[in-house]
Amino acid sequence: DMANNRYTMHGGCTAFLVDMCSSLALAALTRNINPNSSKFKAVSQSLNIVYHSPAPVGDRLRIVSTTMPVPFVSKELELDSNIWSKDYHRLVASGMHNMMPVSESPSIKSHL
């Protein structure tokens, strides 16, 4: 279901994996900084993907996501994710995900 017509991982699926894995890395960092926080409140600003090589159907992948260990403040955060082929020992894709904390305004709260 995640393959294109060439039986390799679809680019949209690659972007989804980078988005989800980098968001999980930020959620873990946020939780580490403030263990009492019950909600993960950040939004994406940009998601940039560079495709290096195909990942054929059946290929085992390893995803490595990193983030800067800085306090969760009102500045942008950059998260990097790399998708590696474990079978072919090569980089499949690399992604840079910029996120920012949600600024909660009274007008937004009233509509929720």
User: Going by DSSP bridges, is the β-strand pair 77-85/90-101 parallel, antiparallel, or unpaired?
Assistant: antiparallel
pLDDT at 40: 61
Question: What CA–CA distance (Å, rounded) separates 85 from 66?
Answer: 18
- Global model pTM greater than 0.75: yes
The model's confidence at residue 42, banded by pLDDT at 50, 70 and 90, is confident
Decide which of 23 and 11 is more confident: 11
Q: Is 82 within 8 Å of 98 (Cβ atoms)? A: no
Mean pLDDT across the stretch 47-60?
96
Sheet holding 42-51, edge to edge: 42-51, 90-101, 77-85, 61-67
